[in-house]
Amino acid sequence: MNATITALLAREILDSRGNPTVEVDCLLSGGVRARAAVPSGASTGSREAAELRDGDARRFGGKGVLRAVDHVNTVIAGQLVGRDAREQAAIDAAMIALDGSENKAKLGANAILGVSLAVARAAAQASDLPLYRYLGGPAATRLPVPHMNILNGGVHAQWQGADFQEYMIAPLGASSVREAVQWGAEVYHALQAVLRAKGLSVGVGDEGGFAPRVQSNEQPLELIEQAIEQAGLRPGQDVAIAIDPASSEFFEDGRFYNLRSENRRLDAEQMVAYYARLVQSHPIVLLEDGMAEDDWAGWKLLNTALGERIELVGDDIFCTNPAIIARGIEQNIANAVLIKLNQIGTLSETIAATRLARDHGWGAFVSHRSGETVDSFIADLTVALDTGHIKTGAPARGERVEKYNQLMRIEQGLGTAARYAGAGAYVRAPRFGHERVQDAGSHPHAAPARTR
């Protein structure tokens, strides 16, 4: 098999928000040509690997990525052409060494990640394997629960409605990814009808979820539960809820969580009590970034209050960075990490971050960014790493659905070997399962949910 890198060719393309991003083609001696594109966040953690932007105000308001593109085409290509694409770890290490900075600021994490992913995809093609199997081996057979962000707030909705950034539905009671995606889309459309009936806007935010002007951060939970029921499903047992308040975005003065939609400021203790009440009253299985990235003491309070009950995922606080995750594990301040390739900047380090979490009994939740492309790498990555759950936006808009569609393709490719993670996806088993048992059988989807 001929897997020598013969060329790396980068270019500037647009992401889903109309901002420039990096795309890389990797060519191999055997004739393979593979492509990868880099996503970009809006509510970023301060310790993320550095995305290199040109800063030239005459192009894209300074957001151009021509320097990162140039780094791929010249210095990175110069270093990697002639190497075997299957040597992923060595290739990633070579780029890290070439960059030499703490946070990939010199070459740009966007340049480095584009190459890292294109090389992996090329190696998979040269090996004649689907990407998930090349990365995960023959044991990679478990499909994740898709967490579909159907209601957007915070910075992803220009602070027009909820302070919390993401309200996600998790069809954990489905029997397959295909069914989960179907249920998700049905609930999404039901939510649109619920919002319309209440005279609320059905315009969407950056990740394709609706962005209505709600009156509180709890109201979206009620609207979503109504939508789940209108779709003929049971909130909790069939479709649970996950939230990402992205609270660093409304943390102020190093002390207060400012809930603008409710016109009040809470300290960490009050914020934890607020979440505890939400978890008590709604079928929430997972809470991401409940506390701000600089509020480690608040995280500790949150983990003490809710860490045995639900999955508490750290995003901005850990930035997919093994060194920071190790500190979090040591201080016992959460029980899961969010995994975003571009927060750390190479595939190898992303795998290391995931392993570290799993080795310590923590969960790993793979994620897209709010600025995306149609690249579906994270769908394959999630199956390969067997993390059991993924979030990649609404079941609408091309750059979001491409990941869900890829999961369905993978499931079909695995045939009878495919298993759906379901409620087993979480580091803390969902507890609400029995509350609504009396409803069983009263809706069209009851049969598949009960026969599992």
**Catalytic site positions:** 207, 340
314 contact partners, CB below 8 Å, separation of at least 6: 288, 289, 299, 325, 328, 333, 334, 336, 337, 338
Chosen residue from 16, 21, 43, 373 binding ligand PGA by CB under 6 A: 43
Q: For residue 37, what are the β-bridge partners?
A: 23
Per CB under 6 A, 108 contacts ligand PGA: no
Q: To the nearest whole angstrom, how small is the minimum distance from the Cβ of residue 408 to ligand PGA?
A: 23
Phi and psi at residue 370, to the nearest 5°: -70, -30
> Comparing C-alpha atoms, which of 409, 357, 413 is closest to residue 386?
357
245 or 388, CB closer to ligand PGA?
A: 245
Interstrand relation of 5-14 and 20-28 (parallel, antiparallel or unpaired): antiparallel
Per CB under 6 A, 42 contacts ligand PGA: yes
Q: How far is CA 58 from CA 17, 55, 63, 403, in A?
A: 19, 9, 10, 34
Can you give the binding site for Zn ion, defined by CB under 5 A?
244, 246, 289, 315
Chosen residue from 239, 243, 246, 353 binding ligand PGA by CB under 6 A: 246
Per CB under 6 A, 141 contacts ligand PGA: no
**Spatial separation of the C-alpha atoms in residues 275 and 212, rounded to whole Å:** 21
- Contact in structure between 163 and 250 (CB atoms under 8 Å): yes
280 contact partners, CB below 8 Å, separation of at least 6: none
Q: To the nearest whole angstrom, how small is the minimum distance from the Cβ of residue 206 to ligand PGA?
A: 7
> Residue 343's binding partner, choosing from Zn ion, ligand PGA, none, with beta-carbon cut-off 5 to 8 A by kind?
none
> Residue 369's binding partner, choosing from Zn ion, ligand PGA, none, with beta-carbon cut-off 5 to 8 A by kind?
ligand PGA
**Spatial separation of the C-alpha atoms in residues 278 and 313, rounded to whole Å:** 16
Site string for ligand PGA, 267-306 (x = CB under 6 A): ----------------------------------------
Q: To the nearest whole angstrom, how small is the minimum distance from the Cβ of residue 207 to ligand PGA?
A: 8
Per CB under 6 A, 399 contacts ligand PGA: no
Site string for ligand PGA, 322-361 (x = CB under 6 A): ----------------------------------------
Per CB under 6 A, 44 contacts ligand PGA: yes
